[in-house]
């Protein structure tokens, strides 16, 4: 049986007070709409139709997914009017699931339960009881009892004082037999307080038609909470992060504080992982077993092998989603505090990167160390190299980047400048303070700095009266 999904995302989101369309605001690193599309994608729909309106070009450009099509709603005359725009794109038969672009945490499990409850024959509404139902459409049941047949949805603004007492509300999500949906949408009127075409009016039509109306409930309230304001967005973000944190902790990850932990992408952890407070994980991050991460680290698109220790305030940035280079850190390495690993940093086992050291597009072989105040860009660093404090690779000539190749067991003295392209052979030694622009042969000592001289009995100038 055909399954079509309609995602409503044409609304303005006035209360966000933002120039960005509401559904493009981010929760856990992904736009609200991307969350809904991700869930829709898990349901095996034949067609996913997103209704756009406000900021349509922006929204359409920002999200792309298989089976996805956009239909524009201009102007926006209500939720019923929104779904009317999708009618030509729907199958003749089957089930249509309606989701909201600003309700990001709906799960595939709840959506499937709704689709099953519909079964291509019944009108299935996702409802929930709220302590404060203000503003929502109320589920009006036969005889006013909790398990009476659903008769209608009445919008808050159109509800009588008695109906406003009802705490069971419509969440904005439903599964409908597609053929009947098309018929009912053709009969919508806008004779209500807001002068809008209400999708919710199809419930009374179904009742009149003798189509059974059933209700299903989500597992948690967060699944059906919409985002209308920055405060609601932050509240939903915290709920989502807390749920994620609890899941990690159930799997044995030791978070110092589940309330101070943020995953904006996908995090995979081995066993005995410890994460201190205020760490942020973005994109795809893998942590091997025994990894320890100090406070306030930001880690994006990286693979961290077993038993790595990352000290506080370290920034690991494997780059964006396009041009994905990533960062890899080998087993047993020690990173930070205050270290910065940038895209293309590939560290083998037992590498040490200390405070205020930046590594970009460079490979460091086993046991290499850069412990203080240094820069390695576009470099190939051999095993057991000791890269002294304050040393840098001058990799950029103003137009092009060049590589620095450092052999095994090289010792680079403090405050050296290695002007690329340049190669230091195995076992070479660079005297501190050298500026090196010629290759150094294996085993050689290279010193390239002003020679020290001495003037005996030097008298310093004195201040004139
Ligand atoms: C709607 C429901 C209400 C329910 C509530 C749940 C109707 C008439 N009412 O009310 O019963 O309790 O959601 O949050 O459906 N949209 C469009 N085009 C439009 C109008 C809205 O695409 O012309 C989209 C919005 O972007 C949003 C969704 O539809 O994603 C819901 O619209 P909104 O205005 O928030 O509906 P409510 O009045 O809150
Ligand atoms: Ca709403």
Q: What's the pLDDT tens digit per position in 308-351?
A: 999 999 999 999 865 678 999 999 999 999 999 999 999 999 99
Q: How far apart are CA 382 and CA 429, in angstroms?
A: 13
Residues framing ligand 1 (Cβ under 6 A): 8-11, 51, 53, 73, 76-79, 81-82, 100-102, 136-137, 153, 155, 169-172, 198-200, 226
- Residues 406 and 391: beta-carbon distance below 8 Å: no
Closest atom of ligand 1 relative to the 226 alpha carbon? 14
Q: Beta 26-27 vs 30-31: how paired, if at all?
A: antiparallel
| Residue 429 pLDDT > 90 | yes
What mean pLDDT value characterizes the chain? 96
Closest atom of ligand 1 relative to the 155 alpha carbon? 11
Whole-prediction pTM: 0.93
pLDDT in tens, 179-201: 999 999 999 999 999 999 999 99
Given this model, what pLDDT does residue 64 score?
78
Given this model, what pLDDT does residue 323 score?
61
Phi, psi torsion values for 311, nearest 5 degrees: -80, 165
| Residue 364 pLDDT > 90 | yes
Closest ligand relative to 36 C-alpha: 1
- Distance (angstroms) between ligand 2 centre and the Cα of 135 equals 8
- Distance (angstroms) between ligand 2 centre and the Cα of 368 equals 56
Residue ranges of E strands in 256-413: 261-269, 274-275, 279-287, 292-293, 298-304, 309-310, 315-317, 327-329, 334-335, 340-341, 346-347, 352-360, 363-364, 369-377, 379-381, 386-387, 392-394, 404-406, 411-412
Q: How far apart are CA 198 and CA 350, in angstroms?
A: 63
Closest atom of ligand 1 relative to the 8 alpha carbon? 22
Average pLDDT over residues 3-19: 96
- Distance (angstroms) between ligand 1 centre and the Cα of 229 equals 15
Alpha-helical segments (H) within 56-160: 56-62, 79-86, 108-118
- Residue 421: cis peptide before it, omega within 30 degrees of 0: yes
pLDDT in tens, 239-284: 999 999 999 999 999 999 999 999 999 999 999 999 999 999 999 9
- Distance (angstroms) between ligand 1 centre and the Cα of 114 equals 19
For ligand 1, mutation pick of 11, 22, 102, 198 (most atoms within 8 Å of CB): 11
Closest atom of ligand 1 relative to the 198 alpha carbon? 8
Question: Taking ligand 2, which is a single-atom ion, which protein residues have CB atoms under 5 Å away?
Answer: 226
For ligand 1, mutation pick of 6, 136, 172, 196 (most atoms within 8 Å of CB): 172
Given this model, what pLDDT does residue 320 score?
83
Structure tokens at 100: 């909201």
156 assigned to active site:
no
Closest ligand relative to 13 C-alpha: 1
For ligand 1, mutation pick of 10, 24, 79, 198 (most atoms within 8 Å of CB): 79
| Active-site choice (58, 91, 372, 402) | 372
Q: How far apart are CA 356 and CA 418, in angstroms?
A: 18
Average pLDDT over residues 141-149: 87
- Distance (angstroms) between ligand 1 centre and the Cα of 73 equals 13
Closest CA to 268 of 294, 297, 289: 289
- Distance (angstroms) between ligand 1 centre and the Cα of 18 equals 19
């Amino acid at each position: 049986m055909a399954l079509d999904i309609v995602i409503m995302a044409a609304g303005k989101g006035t209360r966000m007070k933002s120039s960005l369309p509401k559904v493009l605001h981010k929760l856990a690193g992904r736009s609200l709409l991307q969350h809904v599309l991700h869930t829709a994608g898990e349901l095996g729909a034949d067609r996913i139709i997103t209704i756009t309106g406000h900021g349509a070009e922006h929204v359409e450009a920002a999200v792309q997914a298989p089976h996805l099509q956009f239909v524009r709603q201009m102007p926006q005359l209500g939720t019923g009017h929104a779904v009317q725009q999708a009618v030509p794109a729907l199958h003749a038969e089957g089930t249509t699931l309606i989701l909201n672009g600003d309700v990001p945490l709906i799960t595939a499990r709840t959506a499937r339960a709704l689709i099953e409850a519909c079964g291509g024959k019944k009108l299935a509404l996702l409802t929930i009881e709220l302590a404060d139902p203000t503003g929502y459409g109320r589920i009006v049941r036969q005889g006013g009892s909790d398990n009476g047949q659903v008769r209608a949805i009445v919008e808050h603004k159109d509800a009588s004082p008695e109906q406003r007492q009802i705490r069971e509300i419509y969440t904005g999500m439903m599964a409908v037999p597609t053929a009947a949906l098309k018929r009912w949408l053709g009969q919508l009127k806008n004779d209500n307080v807001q002068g809008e075409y209400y999708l919710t009016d199809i419930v009374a039509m179904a009742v009149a038609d003798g189509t059974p109306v059933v209700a299903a409930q989500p597992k948690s309230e967060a699944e059906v909470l919409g985002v209308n304001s920055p405060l609601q967005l932050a509240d939903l973000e915290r709920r989502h992060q807390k749920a994620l944190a609890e899941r990690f902790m159930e799997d044995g990850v030791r978070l110092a504080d589940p309330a101070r932990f943020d995953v904006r992408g996908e995090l995979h952890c081995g066993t005995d992982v410890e994460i201190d407070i205020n760490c942020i994980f973005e994109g795809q991050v893998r942590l091997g077993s025994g990894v320890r991460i100090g406070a306030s680290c930001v880690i994006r698109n990286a693979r961290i092998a077993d038993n790595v220790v990352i000290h506080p305030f370290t920034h690991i940035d494997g780059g964006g989603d396009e041009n994905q280079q990533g960062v890899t850190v080998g087993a047993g390495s020690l990173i930070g505090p205050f270290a910065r690993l940038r895209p293309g940093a590939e560290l083998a086992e037992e590498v040490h990167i200390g405070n205020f050291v930046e590594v970009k597009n460079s490979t460091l072989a086993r046991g290499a160390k850069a412990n203080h105040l240094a820069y390695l860009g576009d470099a190939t660093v051999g095993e057991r190299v000791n890269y002294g404090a304050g040393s840098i690779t001058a990799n950029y000539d103003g137009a092009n980047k060049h590589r620095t190749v450092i052999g095994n067991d090289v010792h680079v003295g403090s405050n050296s400048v290695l002007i690329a392209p340049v190669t230091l052979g195995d076992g070479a030694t660079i005297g501190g303070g050298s500026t090196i622009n010629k290759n150094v042969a294996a085993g050689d000592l290279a010193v390239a700095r002003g020679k020290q001289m001495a003037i005996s009995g030097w008298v310093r100038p004195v201040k004139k009266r």
